[in-house]
């Protein structure tokens, strides 16, 4: 942010003091700092960077603290009263029979039924008062829980390693996406910058032609007053001036739109000063086409992204394969409020958990096959992309070479057109030529000059496209600055 403000401040000072204007390098630097699309992909890279760092957490234990309050409809109790009643009855009967046997052993008569009943009731009451009730509450109706639970993965079939590598690839892919976006923005800035200076040069050319047309119109007017030329020659000169003025007006409108496009690409506010004094001038910069092909294979972000996508497809295959293997993890649990535990619940537990899916409708197998086909699909996409990039390099190279050749050949044509205009002006001034010949000569020169500028514009545009495909768009700055030193 500080760097951006410094660049903007420096450029504003330069603009206000007329010390220097916005150069191509300045424009690229401003766009790389302010363009919203670059900011978008920068945030995406930071997002993937955080996700990659977070993927290390898959290897660490998961520790959770849970707590809660529970209200039961009734307390949880164990009631063994029927068993107690059976024991008391049985014991009372035994004591009654023992008493009867004791009487017989002492030579006394056997107890009567009434005596047995009274003795049984006495024994029952005595035992019933002595033996405690067989009923216990082991879980209260209202209780609290606070539990710490930990799980440590031991073996997940390679899924965790695949997930970590996948997140790392995603981070690299996002970085390459950012680089690809920067390359595209550089190309866009260069094209908009070239369009501005092209229109600036075209406007300058049309202004000179208009100036010549007006001069010719004035000469034609004087000759008409002297009766040396016919009316149609003068009116033809006036029509030519009107056409030149209209063409100049159109070019100025195109220039304003080009400046707006450049400002949008730079990502600067509407009141940000943008002044460009550059002009189109030829600097040779074409190397052998093999150099660009090699650079494309090594530096093109798209090819690197596809390579990472292929690696991610392989990781997806490994992740799907891990579902066919057992999953093993350590676990532990500790209760922080033991006073609410029942006698049947432990305060802490530790153990090992293992699981293996036996059958789930062949989904794991089919997902494995799908991942395999995805990997092959990306391989074919890589091959297709390489061939198309090679074709694009060849096309841009030939287009740049053709534009260069056309520009160089036009220089001789321009010299001839200038001489032709000079001669026709002389012929017209001496009465040997017509106004139409002068106007035609002016228009031919204007056409050649503009075509020369367009050829130069196309040369730099295709050269920029060539460098962008090769993954090194910033190289155009070195070519452009050769003529500025």
- SS3 category, 330: strand
DSSP class of residue 156? -
Determine the Cα–Cα distance for residues 471 and 183; give it in Å rounded to an integer. 7
* Helix 159-225 × helix 363-429 angle, to 10°: 20
pLDDT at residue 255 in the model: 94
Distance of CA 89 to the CA centre of its chain: 83
Find the length of the chain. Answer: 485
pLDDT at position 485 is 52
Tokens of 200: 């600036």
Buried b / exposed e over 246-273, threshold 16 CB at 10 Å, is ebbeebeebbeebbebbeebbbbeeebe
CA 346 to chain centre: 50
Structure tokens at 358: 């036996």
Q: Residue 161 class from Cβ within 10 Å (0-12 exposed, 13-18 middle, 19+ buried)?
A: middle
Angle at 483 between CA 479 and CA 485, to 5 degrees: 105
Quote the pLDDT of residue 42.
94
Q: Which of 207, 239, 235, 209 is nearest to 223 (CA)?
A: 235
pTM for the model stands at 0.78
Q: How far apart are CA 278 and CA 255, in angstroms?
A: 14
Listed in order, strand segments (DSSP E) in 166-258 are none
Spatial contact of 191 and 397, defined as CB atoms under 8 Å apart? no
Q: List the structure tokens of 8.
A: 């903007």
What pLDDT was estimated at residue 65? 93
Q: What are phi and psi of 138, to 5 degrees?
A: -105, -5
pLDDT of amino acid 13: 42
pLDDT at 484: 56
Cβ proximity of 218 and 238 under 8 Å = no
d(CA 396, CA 385): 16
Q: What pLDDT is attached to residue 450?
A: 93
- The packing angle between helices 435-469 and 475-482, to 10°, is 140
Strands (E), 162-282: none
What are the C-alpha distances in Å from 477 to residues 25, 194, 328, 474? 6, 12, 58, 6
Helices (H), 62-158: 81-105, 113-130
pLDDT number for residue 226:
77
Q: Provide the pLDDT for residue 288.
A: 92
d(CA 325, CA 81) in angstroms, rounded, equals 52
According to the model, what pLDDT value does residue 403 have? 95
C-beta of residue 11 within 8 angstroms of C-beta of residue 28:
no
For the chain, what percentages of helix, strand and coil (3-state, to nearest 5) are there? 70, 10, 20
Question: What burial class does residue 207 get, using C-beta atoms within 10 Å of its C-beta: 0-12 exposed, 13-18 middle, 19+ buried?
Answer: middle
Helix intervals (H) in 323-433: 363-429
Per-residue pLDDT of the chain (485 residues; tens, 9 = 90+): 444 444 444 444 444 434 347 899 999 999 999 999 999 999 999 999 999 999 998 889 999 999 999 998 888 777 777 887 888 788 878 888 787 777 777 777 787 878 778 888 888 888 778 877 767 777 888 889 999 999 999 988 888 888 899 999 999 999 999 999 999 999 999 999 999 999 999 999 999 989 988 888 888 888 778 777 778 878 888 888 999 999 999 999 999 999 999 998 998 877 777 888 888 888 888 899 999 999 999 999 999 999 999 999 999 898 888 888 899 999 999 999 888 888 778 899 999 988 888 888 888 888 889 989 999 999 999 999 999 999 999 999 999 999 999 999 999 999 999 999 899 888 887 777 777 888 888 889 999 999 999 999 999 999 999 999 999 999 999 888 875 55
What pLDDT was estimated at residue 272?
75
């Amino acid at each position: 942010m500080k760097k951006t403000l410094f660049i903007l401040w420096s450029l504003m000072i330069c603009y206000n003091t007329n010390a220097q204007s916005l150069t191509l390098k300045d424009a690229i630097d401003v766009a790389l700092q302010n363009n919203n699309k670059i900011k978008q992909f920068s945030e995406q890279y930071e997002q993937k960077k955080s996700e990659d760092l977070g993927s290390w957490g898959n290897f660490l234990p998961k520790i959770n603290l849970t707590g809660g309050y529970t209200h039961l409809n009734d307390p949880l109790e164990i009631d063994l009263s029927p068993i107690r009643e059976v024991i008391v009855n049985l014991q009372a009967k035994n004591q009654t029979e023992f008493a009867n046997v004791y009487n017989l052993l002492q030579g006394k008569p056997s107890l009567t039924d009434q005596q047995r009943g009274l003795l049984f009731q006495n024994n029952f009451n005595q035992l019933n008062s002595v033996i405690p009730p067989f009923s216990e509450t082991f879980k209260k109706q209202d209780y609290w829980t606070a539990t710490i639970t930990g799980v440590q993965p031991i073996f997940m079939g390679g899924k965790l390693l695949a997930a970590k590598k996948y997140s790392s690839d995603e981070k690299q892919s996002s970085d390459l996406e950012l680089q690809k976006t920067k390359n595209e923005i550089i190309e866009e800035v260069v094209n908009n910058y070239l369009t501005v200076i092209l229109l600036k040069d075209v406007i300058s050319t049309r202004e000179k032609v208009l100036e010549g047309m007006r001069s010719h119109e004035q000469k034609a007017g004087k000759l008409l007053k002297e009766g040396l030329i016919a009316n149609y020659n003068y009116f033809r000169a006036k029509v030519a001036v009107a056409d030149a003025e209209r063409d100049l007006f159109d070019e100025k409108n195109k220039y304003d739109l080009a400046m707006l496009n450049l400002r949008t690409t730079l990502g600067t506010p509407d009141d940000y000063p943008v002044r460009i004094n550059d002009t189109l001038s030829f600097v040779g910069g074409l190397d052998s086409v093999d150099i660009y092909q090699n650079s494309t294979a090594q530096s093109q972000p798209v090819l690197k992204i596809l390579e990472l996508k292929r690696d991610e497809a392989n990781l997806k295959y490994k992740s799907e394969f891990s579902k066919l293997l057992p999953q093993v993890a350590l676990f532990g649990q500790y209760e922080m409020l033991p006073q609410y535990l029942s006698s049947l619940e432990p305060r802490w537990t530790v153990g090992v958990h293992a699981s293996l899916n036996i059958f789930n409708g062949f989904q794991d197998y089919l997902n494995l096959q799908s991942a395999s086909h995805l990997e092959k699909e990306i391989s074919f996409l890589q091959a297709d992309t390489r061939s198309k990039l090679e074709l694009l390099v060849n096309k841009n190279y030939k287009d740049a070479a053709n534009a260069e050749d056309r520009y160089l050949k036009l220089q001789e044509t321009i010299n001839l057109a200038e001489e032709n205009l000079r001669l026709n002006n002389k012929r017209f001034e001496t009465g040997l030529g017509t106004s139409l010949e002068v106007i035609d000569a002016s228009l031919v020169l204007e056409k050649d000059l503009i075509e020369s500028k367009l050829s130069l514009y196309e040369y730099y545009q295709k050269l920029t496209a060539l460098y962008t495909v090769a993954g090194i768009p910033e190289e155009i700055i070195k070519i452009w600055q050769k003529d500025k030193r």
